[in-house]
Chains A and B, each alone.
Chain A
């Protein structure tokens, strides 16, 4: 276990370095964009006086390095500061948005992950026969369509024509869980369609790889049922690549779904960040970037650790 602890410590330290690097990248990136926050807040209706007043008030006349360092100091003390644009506390706003995002991602993951694995297993069981072909065709078709298009199709047929679920996935305080689940039904459906194929294909490929091994042949010769062989003997050895892909997709569900959020008017992190990017609200963009980087890095870390735990050969390196 000492080895594992050391490994964990290493990973976490690496993650922190990555986070720091990400924060610098985001800051530099936002300063490279044309226009500044004062210009973007006031828009076309900005008078020079109003601009100068707003710049002074927002502290934009300070050099960028000073702004960056004071921001970083705040974050290290657990204070994300307030948004330049509307003076709202960033931590509170992000907290709400992040929980919405996690809710949506969670709902999608609970359906997509088991379904993808199950479909993968079925595809292997009926390899090159019609169930395999059907599953592959449908999932590949859904991953090939851009997600906004799937979104619009789903809205048109399910929300406008059939009126089964709302087209707007608006969630807010005071809704019951059932109401929230009803509201997010369509975006969840779209997200499931989008992430399904990748995980399903990986499960199928990884298991097929293992199925070539001699011990599978032994199991077959013992007379075990084909599905038992796949589930009990092949799958555990194929779990590492599958977990990796699952984690990548989970990370995508959290950080990459801004298009789905816009189409379904879902108040998640992506929309929140894009709004503030377009206003050059650097503290908020930084904070969102940090949260996203954190999610990405920790999910990848989990994937690595699971892979090591699942594979004795990695647990005891030579």
Chain B
């Protein structure tokens, strides 16, 4: 029986038999749908990449009001499109570290203050022009000059001077040393455009493996393979991206075979979806986390005992089980998890109503604590707030929940009100994460955390080229946040993507964003 099945699976993999027929035969031979699925996908992997065909993806987050300008990209659809038509200088390697894309090599001066990037000479923009160091320089300038609206501006702020040498060398000079500078260059907004995109920022002319052919903003995009791409990424001739914001509609599109891959599978139904024949749900650990954030400088949260009471009064495992349906891991009141390079495991804080009650009493605060939440602050935030309320109630700490409208939450509540729910997508290094949100002077210091010692250590770690020493410094900083920060972090959410068996080539555990760091449609292929 097994031989026969393997033979049939191989035939499907090379396109000589339909999948539907295969499942019928497999069932006749007494195999369950799930088993048949597994067998088929391994046969397809073994058959190796197939060229040609169309990969269709259904992605959440796009809107008619989006722009193709990389500087203005804020959602997953923008990210997916930029991955197709453009490239940053460097990329995250799938399983740790960096990999060269438009820059072939990079190195720094011994003090990590001057960084030099060699630019690939065989890369060509889709308008036929060759990439030069000047295009790189102009791109970086456009994302960092004072008129910019770029989402990457925060990343670019520490740079004091940028220049070129010849056609293929780009140099960045810093006031303060930064050992992580190359990681900044992987920011997905920093797509190299001809003349930095100053002439036509939204023309979608880049060096990526695909070229955008049809654009219907917020609806549908079609990209075709770039014949002059320097690398070997991209198997399908065409990638079709459809924006499907409704969760049920996105899942139905995958189930009915209208798309081959989707992002953001709702965790509550992921188990059910994964059992359907021909569909695999992929869970990938990422740096994203769901948080309750308290302003350390606003009463009553300016009292560390009250903050500790909140931290001891949250049942993290319950949150992971109920809010993430198990697709995630518990947090430890720092924004860092095992995803990050140089991570050190800290003692895990457990749910402890007695300790919570003790610290609450010690804080001297008496009265309800007001928590603001909204459905868009993270999926299931109101439910998570209710769970938090119940776990605190066991320590006799009253929590009052105020439901805010989705509309305007990011401008009126988050980073404004003293205690609310929110989420972080995470960053690629600890330095970036801390600099973005926990440095006392950071724009998005949404916990109003202000600890001079912490700031000092962050700057010092940035300049430290010895990785062992940096690791220790980051562990110490994590402890400071864990003990005194305004961040109550119950959980890290996994990315949940799903693919149908019409496509193959999925690799587990790729760092970065959902769907293999959004390179899924280019690194996977049409199987049959």
Query: Which A residues form the contact surface with B (CB < 8 A)?
Result: 33-36, 39-45, 47-50, 53-54, 57, 83, 85-88, 93, 152, 155-156, 159-160, 163, 166-168, 170, 172, 262-265, 267, 271-272, 275-276, 278-279, 281, 284
What's the Cα separation between A47 and B144 when bound, in Å? 12
User: Known interface pairs A47-B154, A166-B256, A172-B219. Does A262 touch B246 (Cβ–Cβ under 8 Å)?
Assistant: yes
Residue contact A279 to B65, C-beta cutoff 8 Å: yes
Given contacts A42-B74, A44-B414, A172-B220, contact A265 B66 (CB under 8 A): no
Chain A at the B interface: SS class: helix
Interface residues as binary, B238-268 with A (CB distance below 8 Å gives 1, 0 otherwise): 0000111110110011011111000000000
The reply to whether B256 and A163 contact each other, CB–CB distance below 8 Å, is: yes
A262: B residues at CB distance < 8 A: 245-246, 249
Contact with A167, one of B149, B216, B258, B414 (Cβ below 8 angstroms): B258
Q: B189-226 toward A: CB 8 Å interface, digit per residue (1/0)?
A: 00000000000001000000000001011111000000
B400 at the interface (CB under 8 A from A): no
User: Do A45 and B246 have beta carbons less than 8 Å apart?
Assistant: no
Is B147's CB under 8 angstroms from A278's CB?
Answer: no
Contact across chains for B410 and A35 when beta carbons are under 8 A apart:
yes
> Residues on B close to A: CB < 8 A?
58, 63-68, 72, 74, 146-151, 153-154, 202, 214, 216-220, 242-246, 248-249, 252-253, 255-259, 405, 407-408, 410-412, 414, 443-444
Contact, CB under 8 Å: B414 / A34:
no
Contact indicator B65/A275 (Cβ below 8 Å): yes
User: Can you name 22 A-B residue pairings with CB atoms under 8 Å?
Assistant: A33-B407, A34-B407, A35-B407, A35-B411, A40-B411, A42-B74, A44-B444, A50-B150, A87-B67, A152-B252, A160-B252, A163-B257, A167-B249, A167-B256, A168-B242, A172-B220, A263-B249, A265-B246, A267-B220, A275-B63, A275-B65, A275-B218
The one of A48, A172, A272, A275 that contacts B443, using a Cβ cutoff of 8 Å: A48
Known contacts: A42-B151, A160-B256, A265-B242. The answer to whether A88 contacts B217 by CB under 8 A is: yes
Query: Inter-chain contact count A-B, CB under 8 Å?
Result: 135
B412 to chain A, nearest CB (A): 5
Complex contact A53–B246 (CB within 8 A): no
* Cβ A168 vs Cβ B154 within 8 A: no
Using Cβ atoms and an 8 Å threshold, which residues of chain B touch A43? Answer: 74, 410
- Least Cβ–Cβ distance between A150 and chain B, in angstroms: 13
Quote the shortest CB–CB distance from B203 to chain A (angstroms): 12
Q: Once bound together, how far apart are the Cα atoms of A271 and B64, in whole Å?
A: 8
Please give me the residue from chain B that is nearest to A284 by CB atom: B65
Instruction: Check A85–B66 contact: CB distance below 8 A.
Output: yes
Q: Given the complex of chains A and B, what is the CA–CA distance between A152 and B249 in angstroms?
A: 8
**What residues of chain B lie closer than 8 Å to A45, measured between beta carbons?**
74, 151, 154
Q: Are B443 and A47 in contact (CB under 8 A)?
A: yes
Minimum CB–CB distance from B337 to chain A (whole Å) comes to 20
CB-CB nearest in chain A for B443: A47
Q: Given A53-B149, A155-B252, A168-B242, answer yes or no on A86-B65 (Cβ-Cβ < 8 Å).
A: yes
A264 to B214, CA, bound (A): 21
List the B residue with the shortest CB-CB distance to A261. Answer: B246
